[in-house]
Chains A and B, each alone.
Chain A
Amino acid sequence: MGLAIVRGWQGYWVAVRLGWAISSNWTRPFLFIVYSILRPISMALILAVMYTVITHNSAAARPYLAFLIIGTAFWSFIQEGVSEFATGILEDRGRYHMLKYTYLAPLGFPVFLVGRASSKLASASASVVIVLLVGTFALGLPINPLTIDYPLLVLACLLAFVAIMAFSITLSMVLLAGRDSHGYGEIMAQFLYLFSGAIFPISLLPGPLAWLASLSPLGYWLELCRRAILHGRVYEMFPQLSDGEVLARLVAAVAGTVVLGYFTYLLSDRMARRRGYIDMESSW
């Protein structure tokens, strides 16, 4: 058992290295760094400008600006994680023709996928810091690194990492069992964007959709991130819930997502092998 864990860990890190090598080598290092910095800044500024125009920068709306900026900052974890999973499947299948070999490796395909997607954590983390810095210095958010509740933030992010991986494995296995799967990663990321409370509270969604969104762990995670960074000075999606209650809901939602992801994985894996899609050729 111990040896299996060591080997699994070793394989995971190799997949992280592979993911990093692939995602960071598409251009020269200088351009890669410029792209990695400018992308999150532009994303944050677009939203901030929209917000300023709509609210006329009124003081009463400041807590909502903080809501928007923190949600956008942490959203990059989902964007990067989910899209990298989907890209991993599509690239390995259509571009590198390696999917069947990595799939057959004893490490286990989900561990390999998680490793490849984890490589994006570094750029996603950098993106979070960049957007928060822009929020603080350019938009005047009262973020103070000394008053952030780091234990709550780290715990929430660890739980969210598990949930994002479960979401992404589910998506990847669906891609594996599908014939034409281009664009699904982005569709899934945009779908989660609307349902996670990243840019607006989930209570604004129509009734059944709001209920559906309340089952997702992402809303609770972003709520805890906002509270950990700017407690009391940010718009809250669940003002009636204490931090502990939000955390409890996050744990329950993550557990549900993991169980759902596991069964979807089993089903999709079998479906892909039944249909013979694993070594299918696809265009890239």
Chain B
Amino acid sequence: MAGTSPSSTSSRPAVETRQLGRVYKSRKDVVVALQGIDLSVKQGELFGVLGPNGAGKTTLIKILVTLLLPTSGQAWVDGLDVVKDYRALRHRISMVSGGENAGYGLLRVREQLWLFSQLYGMSSAAARRRIDELLERLGLAEVGNRTIAGLSSGMRQKMSLVRGLMTDPRVIFLDEPTVALDVGAARDVRNEVRRWMGEDPTRTVILTTHYMQEADELCDRVAIVNRGEVIAHGTPQALKQQVDEDVIVDLQLEPGRPLLDALRAIEGVGAASAREEDGIDRFSLLLADDAVLPRVLTTVEGSGRRVTGLVRRQPTLEDAFVKLVGRSLHEEDSSGDGA
């Protein structure tokens, strides 16, 4: 069949890409958003795509959901070519993007969801049942008859998730679905995604997220994307093993002059990242062994900054990410110094 993934149906990947690339050209600029992406996601997997801002995650999702054409390579979702078979593919997928205020504000929650169910060809009665069920599960049953304009952003986000799940797609693409949600709402979303997958073992989720803990908790496998390329993929456990032999230290310092580049320059410091929280600079350091720590402390002392906390801890997915990418998810992609 033209445009169909070569894999047999039974072992067919939910998502497969071969040398997938995307270049944005303008009169002034050429931006390589994706290059040489080779991925294979199995049916029933919850697959995470991690990367800093501008890494190419959303571009990848946009190609896979047929919103954007690739400039090179090929991709298949549920065995269908995203370029040639895009019409048939749209029956089998859905997409939910986080961090946007999407919704026809004049409509009521149930009305909008029902409307979408009709655009997907669901029977009206089945759609109403499914909508009620999902609203109940996500704690939105009480606001089902409220207009969308009156919902909080968290409620809107959950409503978007209901829209994505209610049509029972073969593959759902969740682009930062918990961004800007409070802890409870984010937990509800994660629980529902897992429960939805549990209803049918062939359902597949492709998730992009900024939250490493979320990826670690939810994903069966993850791919780390940086500057348009997949630089590592595997289970969260396998990726964490890459930093298993490192000594991981969290340092808390009072604010002061920039120190990150100086710490990275110390022999034996594999990677370092920094973030500021509540007026305190927090550094995570991957050290080759315990002998590196005194050199780190000497450097800090030399900078005139005071240590307010020091903890040695177990490796996380974020540590693996920092080691692979060279910076944390929260840092901008530049050579400038951080905290």
Binding site for B on A (CB under 8 A): 7, 10-11, 13-15, 17-18, 21-22, 25, 96-98, 100-108, 112, 270, 273-274, 276, 278-279
Contact = CB atoms under 8 A, between A and B. Distances in A.
A96 B159 CA distance: 14
Contacts of A104: 65-67, 90, 93-95
19 contacts: A11-B119, A15-B119, A17-B115, A18-B104, A18-B107, A22-B104, A22-B106, A96-B103, A98-B102, A98-B104, A101-B95, A101-B116, A105-B90, A105-B119, A107-B118, A112-B119, A276-B24, A276-B62, A276-B67
B100 interface: yes
Contacts of B105: 96
A21 B91 CA distance: 26
A14 B121 contact: no
A97 B118 contact: no
Given A96-B102, A107-B118, A108-B87, 13 more contacts: A10-B124, A13-B118, A18-B104, A21-B107, A97-B100, A100-B97, A101-B163, A104-B66, A104-B67, A104-B93, A106-B121, A107-B120, A276-B68
B119 A102 contact: yes
A17 B107 CA distance: 11
Contacts of B91: 106
Judged by DSSP, the binding face of B is: loop
Given A274-B69, A276-B62, A107 B121 contact: yes
A17 B67 CA distance: 26
B316 interface: no
A98 B90 contact: no
Contact of B119 (A22, A96, A106, A278): A106
B121 to A, nearest CB: 4
Nearest to B123: A10
Contacts of B69: 270, 273-274
A107 B90 CA distance: 9
Contacts of B72: none
B40 interface: no
A103 B67 CA distance: 9
Contacts of B119: 11, 14-15, 102, 105-107, 112
Nearest to A112: B119
Interface of B: 24, 62, 65-69, 87, 90-91, 93-95, 97, 100-107, 111, 115-116, 118-121, 124, 163
B90 A96 contact: no
Contacts of B106: 21-22, 25
A101 B116 CA distance: 9
B212 to A, nearest CB: 26
Nearest to A271: B69
Nearest to B119: A105
B302 to A, nearest CB: 47
Contacts of B103: 96-98
Interface centre among A17, A96, A108 (most CB of B within 10 A): A96
Contacts of B66: 104, 273
Contacts of B24: 276
Contacts of A11: 118-119, 121
A244 to B, nearest CB: 40
A28 B101 CA distance: 25
Given A100-B67, A273-B68, A274-B69, A105 B116 contact: yes
Contacts of A17: 115
Nearest to B104: A96
A278 B86 CA distance: 15
B90 to A, nearest CB: 5
A112 B90 CA distance: 15
Contacts of A22: 104, 106
Tell which of B90, B91, B103 has the most Cβ of chain A within 10 Å: B90
Contacts of B116: 101, 105
Contacts of B67: 100, 103-104, 273, 276, 278-279
Nearest to B71: A274
A106 B62 contact: no
Contacts of B90: 104-106
A112 to B, nearest CB: 7
B180 to A, nearest CB: 14
Nearest to A281: B100
A116 to B, nearest CB: 11
B165 to A, nearest CB: 13
Nearest to A14: B118
Contacts of A100: 67, 95, 97
Contacts of B104: 18, 21-22, 96, 98
B118 A101 contact: no
Given A273-B68, A279-B62, A10 B118 contact: yes
